Amino acid sequence: MRSRLLTLPAAAVVCAALAVPAVAQFPVPPSPTSLAPYVPTPQDVVDRMLSLANVTAADVVYDLGCGDGRIVVTAAKKFGARGVGVDFDPDRIKESEANAKAAGVEHLVTFKLQDAMTVDVSPATVVTLYLLSGSNAKLRPILTRQLKPGSRIVSHAFSMGDWTPEKTDLFTDSGGTQRTLYRWITDGTVRN
């Protein structure tokens, strides 16, 4: 019996026929200007990220690469936190703004059409990430330089090089996928 490998287009057709998003099975690499491909974080993972960050109404949550805005919208709706979503895709920003309005939290959140590498995160007390490890490593000196001591950084799935997280959370999400979350707490040390 011969086995055959599916090419990406054939695999996408198979995934479509099975109602499985092709991006979930065969992620497309990010463009050279992107820090990660757009892959939405499942809602139960969003909830766990915000809990790991100990988000409260006193926090300002920045989500770098915010996609459809679900992390800052959830932070506002569930905890009363203020939030800022940053994405370089104008379609994602429009979607985020519509989602904030639908959730009734547009007064608590804003969205910036901007490259995450250039945004000022100094007002943040929490930064959330679902970017690639290399992208997190590029952001690390910016985050540790700009964030006040005691700020929390939570990353879904990807670490920050040799910066050891203060806490790691391993769990199985509601869809049966193994997930890893990392939390760092800034201490005023700039880490390159």
- What would the mean pLDDT of 127-147 be, rounded to a whole number? 95
Q: How many domains does the chain have?
A: 2
- Same domain membership, residue 160 and residue 106: yes
- Same domain membership, residue 39 and residue 9: no
In this prediction, residue 33 carries a pLDDT of: 57
- 4-60 tens-digit pLDDT: 333 333 333 333 333 333 333 334 444 445 676 777 899 999 999 999 999 999 999
Segments forming the whole domain that contains residue 97: 31-185
- Same domain membership, residue 144 and residue 112: yes
In this prediction, residue 7 carries a pLDDT of: 35
Which ranges of 54-175 does DSSP label H, i.e. alpha helix? Answer: 70-79, 90-103, 133-146
Residue 192 lies in a domain: no
Question: Locate tokens 């049966």: which residue?
Answer: 176
Contacts of 23 (CB under 8 A, 6+ apart): 37, 38, 39
- Same domain membership, residue 155 and residue 104: yes
Percent of the chain whose pLDDT exceeds 90: 75
For residue 50, count CB atoms less than 10 angstroms from its CB and return exposed for 0-12, middle for 13-18, buried for 19 or more: buried
- Same domain membership, residue 142 and residue 70: yes
- Same domain membership, residue 80 and residue 3: no
CATH no. for residue 138? Answer: 3.40.50.150
**DSSP secondary structure of 110-141:** EEEES-TTT---TT-SEEEE---HHHHHHHHH
- Same domain membership, residue 179 and residue 95: yes
- Same domain membership, residue 41 and residue 25: no
Look at residues 58, 36, 34 and name the one whose alpha carbon lies nearest to residue 152.
58
Residue 6 lies in a domain: yes
- Same domain membership, residue 169 and residue 91: yes
Residue 125 lies in a domain: yes
Q: What are phi and psi of 183, to 5 degrees?
A: -130, 130
Question: Locate tokens 């250039």: which residue?
Answer: 118
- Same domain membership, residue 92 and residue 45: yes
- Same domain membership, residue 107 and residue 22: no
Q: What is the reported pTM?
A: 0.82
Residue 81 lies in a domain: yes
